[in-house]
């Protein structure tokens, strides 16, 4: 049996650590990991001991969790397969954009070292996922911008770089409102006491809460 099929739980932990730190710029601690995985803290503590034993993670004096080099390589392998699966689903199978993350999560563990390079070539060597995330190991990528739409000042135009992909209902909202990577957004107003912002997204005016705006990463319009 291929190793990626037999170690699903380990791979899920490693990819979640990778996403939290690399994609979102967050410090990874056990409570945050438990929350994202929707697993009890004692279960997370037990798995972290196993991952430390296997040389896949380190935990520093501040209780922050870091991937070792071996853990990073393994996480990148799985993230790469996941994002290639997303491209396959949206570009070839024409699955609805907002469904792709969950469906790719089912497929990623079935992509082997043999089929992954062929899938990559067949898809035209994509550099990013449908949600704007870089596909690991396609070259030296610059650091991801960590500015979110909630950080932007009124009257500023930005380009949506990527959106949070792990919430299917949120993705469906993004899709309905045209909030996709590559689309220009102009921040029209901020209502801090209401906890909302109003932005011009493409041809539409959209009002979102700051919590949602923090799930939309942006880059300067000129970059």
Q: What is the DSSP string of the chain?
A: --HHHHTHHHHHHHHHHHIIIIIT-----HHHHHHHHT--HHHHHHHHHHHHHTTSEEE-TT--EEE-HHHHHHHHHHHHHHHHHHHIIIIIS---GGGHHHHHHHHGGG--TTHHHHHHHHTT--SB-TTSPBPTTSS-PPPPP--BGGGPPTT-EEEEEEE--S-HHHHHHHHHHT--TT-EEEEEEEETTTTEEEEEETTEEEEEEHHHHTTEEEEETT-
What's this model's pTM, rounded to 2 decimal places?
0.91
Residue limits of CATH 2.30.30.90 in the chain? 149-220
Could you tell me which residues are beta bridge partners of residue 205? 200
What is the location of CATH 1.10.10.10 in the chain? Answer: 1-141
pLDDT at 202: 82
pLDDT at 6: 56
Four-way CATH pick for 1-141: 2.60.40.10, 1.10.10.10, 3.20.20.80, 3.40.830.10: 1.10.10.10
Query: Per-residue confidence of the chain (223 residues) as pLDDT tens digits?
Result: 444 455 889 999 999 999 999 999 999 999 999 999 999 999 999 999 999 999 999 999 999 999 999 999 999 999 999 999 999 999 999 999 999 999 999 999 999 999 999 999 999 999 999 999 999 986 556 789 999 999 999 999 999 999 999 999 999 999 999 999 999 999 999 998 899 999 999 889 999 999 999 999 999 987 5
What per-residue confidence (pLDDT) applies to 143? 84
Q: Report the pLDDT value the prediction gives residue 163, as an integer from 0 to 100.
A: 98
The CATH superfamily of 149-220 is Ferrous iron transport protein A (FeoA) (2.30.30.90)
> Whose CA is closest to 128, among 84, 160, 180, 78?
84
Q: How far apart are CA 182 and CA 25, in angstroms?
A: 21
Please tell me whether residue 199 adopts helix, strand or coil conformation.
Answer: strand
């Amino acid at each position: 049996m291929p190793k990626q099929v037999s170690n699903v739980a380990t791979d899920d932990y490693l990819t979640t650590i990778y996403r939290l730190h690399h994609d979102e710029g967050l410090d990874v601690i056990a409570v945050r990991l438990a929350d994202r995985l929707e697993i009890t803290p004692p279960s997370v503590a037990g798995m972290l001991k196993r991952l430390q034993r296997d040389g896949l993670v380190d935990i520093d004096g501040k209780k922050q969790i870091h991937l070792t080099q071996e853990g990073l390589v393994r996480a990148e392998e799985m993230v790469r397969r996941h994002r290639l699966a997303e491209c396959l689903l949206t570009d070839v199978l024409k699955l609805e954009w907002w469904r792709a993350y969950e469906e790719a999560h089912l497929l990623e563990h079935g992509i082997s070292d043999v089929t992954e390079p062929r899938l990559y070539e067949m898809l035209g060597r994509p550099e990013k996922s449908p949600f704007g995330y870089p596909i690991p190991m396609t070259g030296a990528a610059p650091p991801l911008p960590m500015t979110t739409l909630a950080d932007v000042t009124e009257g500023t135009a930005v380009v949506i770089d990527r959106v949070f992909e792990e919430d299917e209902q949120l993705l469906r909202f993004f899709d309905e409102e045209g909030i996709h990577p590559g689309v220009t957004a102009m921040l029209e107003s901020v209502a801090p006491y209401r906890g909302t912002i109003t932005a011009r997204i493409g041809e539409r005016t959209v009002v979102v809460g700051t919590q949602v705006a923090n799930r939309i990463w942006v880059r300067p319009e000129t970059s």
